[in-house]
């Protein structure tokens, strides 16, 4: 992607959410495993830890680090908000926006994408279905990750349970803005789910529990990366 030298597709982004296995020192360990899997396979693997872990992780690894959210605010009087500049300075290269667990109004998604662009953060807008993905595409984010909420955390992969949502999202987004990279997520737990996602036209995946809750997250990330290459 132009201007962001360590980002390339296919890309796997691991959302750490607020899982115990991905908090504090454990978050750092998990990010190190992601880096090792990325080096081993040559596939871009990014991590999205909690805000307070961004700085520590970004200093320890050289894979892309994404914030889980930003607020569309500026320097000034916004106690308790997440300032895009702080996220960037902490070492993140991008941010999720509008995750199903952190939904925003359309006007705020637009403002957050603009702020991300202003400070040089890659915007990854999460969407729940095809029409919302199409609306998000009009706002010119860098990436859109479609995740049917009812499949999140279930282990039932979107790429197999709802392939039509993925293909119609790819089609709608590319029609509106061919520059936008489309990812999908929810329920992805093995390499097959990843190759299915790529074959449906996505350029990567957003995943959480399939990696974070795995017995051997490193092995799972290597499997995912190899599957993404083979698809």
Per CB under 6 A, 210 contacts ligand G3P = yes
Q: Strand locations in 55-209, DSSP E?
A: 66-67, 94-97, 122-127, 143-146, 181-185, 204-207
Pick from 186, 200, 220, 222 the residue near ligand G3P by CB under 6 A: 186
CB of 47 to ligand G3P, least distance (A): 12
Which residue has tokens 């010119």? 140
What mask of x and - would describe binding to ligand G3P in positions 44 to 73, judged by CB under 6 A?
Answer: ------------------------------
**Is 69 a catalytic site residue?**
no
Which candidate in 99, 150, 203, 226 is catalytic? Answer: 99
203, 183 Cβ separation under 8 angstroms: yes
Pick 46 or 84: Cβ nearer ligand G3P: 46
Long-range contacts of 143-146 (CB under 8 A, 24+ apart): 143/180, 143/181, 143/182, 143/183, 144/169, 144/173, 144/180, 144/181, 144/182, 144/183, 145/13, 145/96, 145/182, 145/183, 145/184, 145/185, 145/206, 146/182, 146/183, 146/184, 146/185
Pick 59 or 103: Cβ nearer ligand G3P: 103
Pick from 7, 28, 184, 207 the residue near ligand G3P by CB under 6 A: 207
CB of 20 to ligand G3P, least distance (A): 14
- Which residue, 96, 14, 4, is CA-closest to 57? 14
Q: How many residues bind to ligand G3P according to rule CB under 6 A?
A: 14
Which candidate in 35, 147, 203, 226 is catalytic? Answer: 147
Say what the alpha-carbon torsion angle 200, 67, 152, 196 is, to the nearest 10 degrees.
20
Per CB under 6 A, 209 contacts ligand G3P = yes
CB of 209 to ligand G3P, least distance (A): 3
Chain centre distance of CA 8: 13
**Is 101 a catalytic site residue?**
no
Pick from 27, 136, 152, 228 the residue near ligand G3P by CB under 6 A: 152
Pick from 37, 173, 208, 225 the residue near ligand G3P by CB under 6 A: 208
Which residue has tokens 């190759």? 195
- Catalytic residue positions, numbered: 99, 147
Interface residue list for ligand G3P (CB under 6 A): 15, 99, 147, 152-153, 185-188, 206-210
């Amino acid at each position: 992607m132009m201007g962001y030298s360590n980002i390339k597709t296919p890309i796997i982004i691991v959302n750490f959410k607020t899982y115990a296995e991905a908090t504090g020192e454990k978050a750092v360990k998990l990010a190190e495993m992601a880096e090792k899997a990325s080096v081993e396979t040559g596939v871009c693997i990014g991590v999205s830890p909690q805000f307070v872990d961004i700085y520590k992780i970004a200093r320890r690894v050289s894979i892309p680090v994404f914030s889980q959210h930003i607020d569309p605010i500026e320097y000034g009087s916004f106690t308790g908000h997440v300032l895009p500049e702080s996220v960037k300075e902490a070492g993140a290269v991008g941010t999720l926006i509008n995750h199903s667990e952190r939904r925003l109004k359309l006007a705020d998604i637009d403002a957050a994408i603009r702020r991300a662009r202003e400070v040089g953060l890659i915007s990854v807008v999460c969407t729940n279905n095809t029409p919302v993905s199409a609306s998000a595409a009009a706002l010119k984010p860098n990436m859109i990750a479609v995740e049917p909420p009812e499949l999140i955390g279930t282990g039932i992969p979107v790429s197999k349970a709802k392939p039509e949502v993925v293909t119609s999202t790819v089609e709608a987004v590319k029609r509106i803005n061919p520059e936008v990279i489309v990812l999908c997520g929810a329920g992805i737990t093995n390499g097959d789910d990843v190759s299915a996602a790529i074959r449906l036209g996505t350029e990567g995946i957003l995943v959480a529990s399939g990696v974070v809750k795995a017995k051997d997250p490193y092995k799972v990330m290597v499997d995912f990366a190899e599957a993404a290459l083979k698809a």
